[in-house]
Amino acid sequence: MAFDTCSASGCHNFHNNRALYTDFLIKHLREPELLEQRVLPEREFANVLDEIVEYPADRYPVTPLSTAHADAPAEFSADTGIHEDWLETAHARSGVNCSACHTAPGQSAETPAWNSKPGDGVCEQCHSLEVQRFQRGKHGMRLTADLTVMTPAQARLPMQEDASHKELTCTACHSAHRFDVQSAAVDACLGCHADRHSLAFKDSPHFALWEKELAGKAEAGTGVSCASCHMPRVNFDVNEWMSRIMVEHNQNATLSPNSKMIRPACLHCHGLEFTLDALADEVLIENRF
């Protein structure tokens, strides 16, 4: 649909006009192209664990763990690389041990049945909201319908040839044991996506900001990764009495029409008029602005 009709995304998109209704347009009138403060919301999961009723705090008390606490069987403990990866994660800092993912809940701690390759179900024990949202997006929607796992080979956009049969589960982006969110925000995306928009990212001003943040030369939250826009941090209602800032794992929520990105992503850094103009420019989109 072209940007020249009343119902186009640029003006009155009747399916999702949260960023385009009159009062909102007036509120953001005459904003500069770049806002004075440009920073993403801070994720809150680790800070609100005691308020999340569904979190299994009885099994995973929030206590930092060391190598000495690792409870993997002896035959797996010999791989020090795995332990080093685990120690660098929020899991180790939050009391989530090896057995949390590799054994089923409720088993005896003395003789647990060890699962060498646990599925996404173990992630759902703690990250049920993220898994739920993931299964509503393009990457995980086949799981919701009890179909085989999505692979890049099924995509319509160009993908990296060597990733064509990669199964898109939680660990496809969050590699097992390390679960590096920074790597998941860029490297995991570019490991599969090979369209011109994705490949142009590393030549963009957004990537330059991302590199500055990773190098410690800029404030946390000022870098712009692939996930900053396509999996933005949103204020999500966890239940009737609380909400928290979480990463939106449902890419459909911010992809099409692209005006759906305005509120959760673009307006953290840019004025509304500049954002609408940019999202209406196919050439700008292709070369990553």
pLDDT number for residue 132: 94
Largest Cα span, the chain = 67
Q: Are 136 and 89 in contact (CB under 8 A)?
A: no
Global pTM reads: 0.87
Rg over alpha carbons for the chain, rounded to the nearest Å, is 21
Q: Which of 131, 129, 156 is CA-nearest to residue 141?
A: 131
DSSP state for residue 235 in the 8-state scheme:
E
Q: Over the chain (289 residues), what is each successive 10-residue block's mean pLDDT?
A: 58 63 88 96 86 82 89 76 88 90 72 82 90 94 93 96 95 90 95 96 96 96 96 90 92 86 94 93 91
pLDDT number for residue 139: 95
- Tokens representing 4 are 């020249």
pLDDT number for residue 17: 64
pLDDT number for residue 13: 60
pLDDT number for residue 107: 60
- Left, alpha or beta for 269 (phi > 0: left; psi -120 to 50: alpha)? alpha
pLDDT number for residue 155: 94
CA separation for the pair 135, 132 (Å, rounded): 5
pLDDT number for residue 11: 58
pLDDT number for residue 175: 86
CA separation for the pair 283, 91 (Å, rounded): 42
pLDDT number for residue 22: 81
Number of H helices, E strands in the chain: 17, 2
